[in-house]
Structure 1
Amino acid sequence: MQTIDDGSTIEITPEKPQLTTLRAAEFRPSAPRMDWRGRYARRLYLIDYVVGLVAASSALFLRFGPDAAQPFLLDYLLLTLLFPLAWIAVLAINRAYESRHLFVGTDEYARVVRSGLGLTATLAIFSFALDLRLARGYVIIALPMATLLDVGARYLYRQLLHRRWAAGERLHKVILVGHARAIADMARRLARESHHGLGIIGACVPPGAVDDELPGLPTVFGDFDNVAGAVSLSGADTVVVLSCPEIDGPALRRLAWQLERDEIDLIVASTLVDVAGDRTTIRPVDGLPMLHVEHPRLKGSSRLIKAAFDRVGAFVLLLLSMPVLLVLAALVAFGPGGRGPVIFRQERVGKDGRLFVLYKFRTMVVNAEARLQELRNLNDTDGELFKMRNDPRITPVGRWLRRLSLDELPQLLNVLKGDMSLVGPRPPLAREVAGYPADMRRRLAVKPGLTGLWQVSGRSDLSWDESIRLDLTYVENWSLAMDLAILARTVSAVVRSSGAY
């Protein structure tokens, strides 16, 4: 049982263990539109001001020192005081405070990075045009620091919101409109991920289409003609319309007119699967909104940047982790579990189906592969992947290495060689790929990764279909900002050790 901001409670029923619903006895007339989004944006202004002031003050201190007495220092003091305002202005120009770019996804962080680059270019142009002699050390310190600090601060602030969403607070109370099976499928999709802010409280289906035995179907309030009444009865603030032939253009327009009186959000769910928002553009043609879908970024200069980022990042991480690697190698070589090679080598399938040898610290007994067949019927996962929570082949040291994902560190060599990327789909075995249907082979269009969406979303706790869907989502919607976000989330996923076995 959980409580939403307006006092209503959320109950998760035993029959529908993952479905968020409200008790019918506690439905109330339509509540005022949630204003927490406005408060969230206003607090971002304060966060950005503090970040700008800290970055500018640090640049002043580091560039000129604590005892600087140059006559022009007053100019830099004034610049330090004005810098946070300029930082906020550039962020506002880049629409970094608009609700549609906040809360989920990487678009917010990308806009912060673009703001840092834009302010750098603006200062360079003005200093050249007006012959201003800005200290380059001041600019080089202030702008990158402001960008990095702001991305980190916004990320932490968003995590606080996601924690409240996961606890059932500040959720959008949603009415789903569509066919029963489509509604049940959408409810299951939303139940898999708590960081969306949508709490389903009911549904509207076609007349006579209610199926009480359909798993995952929320409380049905009525048919398509009674959506506004369902919103008023339940206190919903959002209506999500799923694709169905009964709701055509005129019907959707009439529904929008009914909902706008109470400022109820209307969301039309597209039938597109795993396509990120930055790949779609709406262009009106004779009053009809046309949704244009751009092709995934599988080639071009951005991929060259990713390749350079991977090689440099892997080289730096190898240098920094060298002492840890030596200690772990000694534990594997001389720890309990039998003598054997320190590095386990296994053939995996890489980009475009090319085979490569993957490196890991050995976490199992030497004859683990020979014993695999006798354990096949004890698989704890579905699909082609074999995983056991209590695999008897894993050594005591290996279990500890897997729990903290330290056995994966030698794969930095694979990244350095170019076989893998820092972020990407999970590297599959050849026997797994042999069982792929045609659409799953799409995940081989990019290099496999040391980490990825599969790792930060639950790893071995995920179903086979869900892990494949996450890999395809990454392939279709890759961006450098997504890679950075996944790398940041990997740290918390490793600390939690969820799904690591």
Structure 2
Amino acid sequence: MTSDVVVMFLAFVGGFALRFSTGLFQGPSEFLRAEHFSTLVLFVPVWIIVHGLNGLYVPRVMGTVFDQASGLLKAISLASLLILALGFYTQTNYFMEKRLVHLFGWTIALSLNVPLRLFLLRRLYQSQFGGHKKLNRILIVGAGVEGTRFLQRVRSSEALNYDVVGFVDDDPAKHGNEIDGVRVLGPVDDLPSLSEEAQADQVFVAIPSLGQEGTLAMMSRCMKAQLPVRLVSDILHLIASDTQVETIDGVPTYDVRTEGGSDLARFSKRAFDLAVSSALLLAFFPLFLFIAALIKIFSPGPVLFKQVRAGLNGREFTMMKFRTMRLETDDSIHREYATRLITGEKLDFADEAKDKEEVFKMTKDPRVTPVGTILRRTSLDELPQLLNVWLGDMSVVGPRPPIFYELNHYKEWHRKRLRAKPGLTGLWQVSGRSTVPFDEMVLLDLYYIDHWSLKTDLEILFRTIPVVLSGEGAY
């Protein structure tokens, strides 16, 4: 962080000098004055915040040069644009009339910061961890091709401070054998005790065949042993690429954390929910009235459909939607659909002749009214849930709230998605919505719960807009 502030200061002074002290441009010469340096009060927090949001202050595994250079280019460019926009917004003469200073400053910042971080800090990292600090002892779960390849890449990297102390694998034939000089210690079920015996500091999982349930179960065991866990896998390929993803020689690894939300985090999320729900309720109020009138005209009965759902930690709450079905409809169709969805059976209710296809949504529900079909297709039937968000029963972003009879078919690891307030939208909605299989949907929900941030909420919220407009996966 200190080096970034120094670079920003040098870029500011250098950009000003190039513009006004070289004689290359028209206009009178100008010297730096106290009021110019006062603008650094605005520069410093913007610069640091943007770099922080791009993960440049998080201790990371050293990735490829391209990865690091791309992150720096993105952070420096965004910070420069925000500072310039701030000048226009505040109508500060310095920003308005001296935009070339920004261009030169941006160039100088890139010229200094990229080599500084890529080479000088990389060498410092090597000297600190490689020569004078204890190596991190790691276990690799998976003694197959992927695990062996990961071992070779760890060994070939000069910047990593890892010492691979063992493999963990479920194949009994491999137990006790050595792979490239590293012993296979035992099965995955014994991971907590094996890690203690090996005095491991961290676990890298490289078993693509574990599947969602096995991977999550293994994570849970590792977390009980209080070990940091990283996935060397593309199992989370549906997640945005900039959410806690680090690379080792081009291999993506995903951080697995169980961060209990702090009071500040809960407060900030609640403040975000109140701000968004209040703004949208005001903006959509005329639309609320229009939809209510349509429902009343074409289908006698109440405007709102209210249903008891499972909220945070399984607590009951009444969820509201615009009514899209006829009155006194039988819920047996949905019960059967929910059972098939959760257990992974075939789900095509629209056309039983297509029994070889898996459909993860009821594409033709006879209970839905014509107006209801439009509301569902456009997701407008969900708008009243903004009231649930405003009341505190739901959040803008989070897992979708299940009906209580759906919980009867949940596996034990499925119930972990109840650890967060249910939301209007979430990771699985922007990753295919109804076309995402249930196990993958839960996996995405759990990843969101363990990696929540306001930045993530904003990204998911903005990614929801094109998904809703396109009607992708909605019925």
State the one-letter code of the partner of 1:63: Q
- Counterpart of 2:376 in structure 1 is 402
Give, in whole Å, the separation in 2 of the partners of 1:250 and 1:458: 44
1:490 aligns with 2:451: no
Give, in whole Å, the separation in 2 of the partners of 1:46 and 1:280: 20
Q: 1:417 to 1:49 in 2, by over 3 A?
A: closer
For residue 447 of structure 2, the aligned residue among 473, 476, 486 is: 473
Aligned ranges 1:70-85 → 2 under 5 Å: 73=93, 75-77=94-96, 80-83=99-102
In the alignment of these two chains, the number of paired residues is 305
Give, in whole Å, the separation in 2 of the partners of 1:492 and 1:204: 36
1:308 aligns with 2:271: yes
Give, in whole Å, the separation in 1 of the partners of 2:364 and 2:112: 54
- Counterpart of 1:341 in structure 2 is 302
Give, in whole Å, the separation in 1 of the partners of 2:245 and 2:85: 35
1:434 aligns with 2:420: no
Shift of 1:308: 1.5
- Counterpart of 1:257 in structure 2 is none
Give, in whole Å, the separation in 1 of the partners of 2:458 and 2:306: 28
- Counterpart of 1:55 in structure 2 is 85
1:462 aligns with 2:423: no
8 Å Cα contact 2:303/2:322 also seen in 1: yes
Shift of 1:40: 5.1
8 Å Cα contact 1:378/1:388 also seen in 2: no
Q: 1:486 to 1:79 in 2, by over 3 A?
A: same
State the one-letter code of the partner of 2:290: V
Give, in whole Å, the separation in 2 of the partners of 1:374 and 1:78: 64
Q: 1:45 to 1:426 in 2, by over 3 A?
A: closer
Q: 1:37 to 1:492 in 2, by over 3 A?
A: same
For residue 351 of structure 1, the aligned residue among 297, 312, 315 is: 312
**Aligned to 1:363, what secondary structure does the other structure show?**
coil
Give, in whole Å, the separation in 2 of the partners of 1:428 and 1:93: 52
- Counterpart of 1:330 in structure 2 is 293
Give, in whole Å, the separation in 2 of the partners of 1:280 and 1:403: 34
**Aligned to 2:400, what secondary structure does the other structure show?**
coil
State the one-letter code of the partner of 2:91: R
Shift of 1:330: 1.5
8 Å Cα contact 2:342/2:409 also seen in 1: no
1:367 aligns with 2:328: yes
Q: 1:348 to 1:63 in 2, by over 3 A?
A: same
Of all paired residues, the percent bearing the same amino acid is 37
Give, in whole Å, the separation in 2 of the partners of 1:389 and 1:440: 25
Shift of 1:491: 0.9
Give, in whole Å, the separation in 1 of the partners of 2:263 and 2:110: 28
For residue 343 of structure 2, the aligned residue among 376, 383, 390 is: 383
State the one-letter code of the partner of 2:276: G
Q: Which consecutive unaligned segments of at least 5 residues does structure 1 have?
A: 1-33, 65-72, 100-176, 181-202, 206-222, 229-240, 253-266, 282-290
Shift of 1:322: 0.7
Give, in whole Å, the separation in 1 of the partners of 2:470 and 2:300: 30
- Superposed CA deviations along residues 215-240 of structure 1, whole A, max 9, x for unmatched, are xxxxxxxx98xx99xxxxxxxxxxxx
Shift of 1:351: 0.8
State the one-letter code of the partner of 1:51: L
8 Å Cα contact 2:378/2:469 also seen in 1: yes
TM-score (norm 1): 0.50
Shift of 1:304: 1.1
- Superposed CA deviations along residues 4-57 of structure 1, whole A, max 9, x for unmatched, are xxxxxxxxxxxxxxxxxxxxxxxxxxxxxx997688568648954873575156
- Superposed CA deviations along residues 111-135 of structure 1, whole A, max 9, x for unmatched, are xxxxxxxxxxxxxxxxxxxxxxxxx
- Superposed CA deviations along residues 196-228 of structure 1, whole A, max 9, x for unmatched, are xxxxxxx679xxxxxxxxxxxxxxxxx98xx99
State the one-letter code of the partner of 1:411: Q
8 Å Cα contact 1:348/1:356 also seen in 2: yes
Q: 1:318 to 1:387 in 2, by over 3 A?
A: same
**What is the Cα-based RMSD across aligned positions, in Å?**
4.8
Give, in whole Å, the separation in 2 of the partners of 1:461 and 1:54: 42
**Aligned to 1:495, what secondary structure does the other structure show?**
helix
